[in-house]
Amino acid sequence: MRSIDRAPHRTVIVKRASYRSKAQYGGWIISRARNRWLLWKNRLRRLQCFETGRVNLYVRRPDSIGRAYQLVCNGFNFTGLITDVRVLEMVLAAARFKGAYYVFEANQRLPKFFVDLFSKKNGVVTKVGDVSHPNAIEVITCYPDWAERNERILKEIKSLLYTSPLNVDCLRELEYVS
């Protein structure tokens, strides 16, 4: 298993976690980890569902948004966890890109070289001539977590500014991210 397989290709947020009791009967496996995430495997790849509502999608290459949608439909709709089509459409609309893995072949064997200068800021890592692909350039991209948190904060601020009266209770409910 390569290191990119540990980074999810797509991410979905499922609002309600009331389906966890039905998940065992639909083919989902409860992990032995302390956070008790659920695992569902398919020929398209696998889903990881956490108690917070976050779902990581690991899509088989070549990954596309269509395969990610099909994986979510197989994991939630066909197992009977989500039966309402409107709820499933909201889940599919929440799918976001998290990372990808690209391999560019060369004609000759390349020297081993690793560039992680842009990994924290931009989420791009470049590998040249490593053990897995000695005659290729590998580019690993991931959407940084800080950018995801900033988008969430911006969305909360935007919803706060567009509400007409300023409500103090609304300020207390905001999710602050450090």
Q: Sorting pLDDT into bands at 50, 70 and 90, what band is 33?
A: confident
Segment (H or E) for 124 = strand 124-128
pTM over 0.85: no
Q: Between 138 and 43, where is the model more confident?
A: 138
Query: How many angstroms separate the CA atoms of 115 and 122, rounded?
Result: 13
With beta carbons less than 8 A apart as the criterion, state whether 128 and 114 touch. Answer: yes
Domain shared by 21 and 81, yes or no: yes
Domain shared by 68 and 6, yes or no: yes
Q: What is the pLDDT of residues 89-105, one digit of tens each?
A: 888 887 777 777 888 99
What is the CA 4 to chain-centroid distance, rounded? 12
Domain that holds residue 174: 145-178
pLDDT at 3: 33
Query: How many angstroms separate the CA atoms of 43 and 26, rounded?
Result: 16
**Which DSSP letter does residue 73 get?**
I
For residue 128, give the nearest of 140, 145, 111 by alpha carbon: 111
pLDDT at 135: 92
Q: What is the pLDDT of residues 104-123, one digit of tens each?
A: 999 999 999 899 888 888 88
Domain shared by 107 and 88, yes or no: no
With beta carbons less than 8 A apart as the criterion, state whether 59 and 69 touch. Answer: no
Domain shared by 52 and 81, yes or no: yes
Domain shared by 139 and 174, yes or no: no
Measured CA angle at 171 (ends 168, 175), to 5 deg: 160
Residues 6+ apart with CB under 8 A from 147: 123
| pLDDT-wise least confident of 12-16, 23-27, 162-166 | 12-16
Domain shared by 47 and 120, yes or no: no
- Helices 65-72 and 85-93, packing angle to 10 deg: 140
Domain shared by 160 and 131, yes or no: no
Q: What is the pLDDT of residues 3-16, one digit of tens each?
A: 334 455 556 656 55
